[in-house]
Amino acid sequence: MVNRKQMGLAAAALLALLPLSGCKPKDQVAELETFDGQRAFKAVEALVQISPRDAGTANGKKAADLIFSRLKKLGIHSEIVTFTDDTPDGPKTMHNVIGRIPGKTDRWLIVGSHFDTMPGIPGFQGANDSGSSTGVVLELARIFSGSKPRTGLIFAFFDGEEGIAHYIPGDGLHGSRHFAKQLVEQGEHKQMDGMILLDMVGDRDLQFVLPANSSQPLAKQLLKAAHTTGYRERFSISSSSIITDDHVPFMQAGIPALDIIDFKYGSAPGKNDYWHTSQDNLQHISAESLGLTGSVVREMIKTMIF
């Protein structure tokens, strides 16, 4: 029970807390929080608890539910989009999670990650592939939640990125192909300013080589953001390497897309021997690397949407 005086004090305390509560729209860039690598790492830990999370399995759905509940908690309008697609193992039911922060115009920017794991690897956790990027995109969602940007933000979490045998055609990229197709069918693809994909962003020895099949204007914007945040030396653009990843269906739909990937994840610089093995675990990623990636992408998004 509280008396009138205590109630007054309680109300005053509540008012003092209000500016921190997230109720006020963050329409000022200066009000955006910084990227917290530790928080992103905790999100990866939670996702890795659900391992393996292969597409079309009960754990795959559990992972989608976890992401959905986190977006919902942030007050982001979100949905789980369930669909069935053919795979070399027969039809599978999969679940994309899509969250939207509307902007003041009808333009949008997509930030994406897959969350499924590669099937058939004993003891597989997928801490880097696909935990790291999912944790970073969730932390970005927290930072931008409650903001009122000029351009809206779409957080897209894809199921079924991993191909069982050949990747495309018809194997792998299931979630991204489904979402890109949805955008085209609804005529929304013309409203998309770009698609930023994150994949394998948690390696302790982080060195990004952006594949040649990425939008060059977006790649340049990323390099600018990397320069601003002091991490320019961690990024380069390849003139020859082509990577089949979730950004490809968006490029095919005419949406400029970028794949932020460090595809050298291993026991020594230049090696990729942890990739798709039981060595892809929490010990081989770091909160610092998630923080580095998130800080650069936060800066890039900020300059594109406000």
**Smallest separation, CB 276 to Zn ion (Å):** 6
Nearer to Zn ion, 129 or 171 (CB): 129
Q: Is 129 in the site for Zn ion (CB under 5 A)?
A: yes
**Smallest separation, CB 184 to Zn ion (Å):** 25
Q: Pick the stretch among 50-58, 69-77, 87-95, 121-129 that binds Zn ion (CB under 5 A).
A: 121-129
Q: Pick the stretch among 1-9, 31-39, 128-136, 282-290 that binds Zn ion (CB under 5 A).
A: 128-136
Nearer to Zn ion, 113 or 229 (CB): 113
Residues 89-118 within binding reach of Zn ion (CB under 5 A): 118
Nearer to Zn ion, 118 or 136 (CB): 118
Nearer to Zn ion, 109 or 118 (CB): 118
97, 113 Cβ separation under 8 angstroms = no
Size of the site for Zn ion (CB under 5 A): 2
Nearer to Zn ion, 167 or 306 (CB): 167
**Smallest separation, CB 162 to Zn ion (Å):** 5
Q: Pick the stretch among 47-55, 58-66, 122-130, 151-159 that binds Zn ion (CB under 5 A).
A: 122-130
**Smallest separation, CB 168 to Zn ion (Å):** 14
Which segments within 67-151 are labelled E, that is strand? 77-85, 92-101, 108-114
Q: Is 280 in the site for Zn ion (CB under 5 A)?
A: no
**Smallest separation, CB 141 to Zn ion (Å):** 22
**Smallest separation, CB 27 to Zn ion (Å):** 38
Closest CA to 103 of 146, 70, 150, 58: 150
Nearer to Zn ion, 129 or 262 (CB): 129
Which structure tokens are listed for 46?
Answer: 């939670």
- Residue ranges that bind Zn ion, judged by CB under 5 A: 118, 129
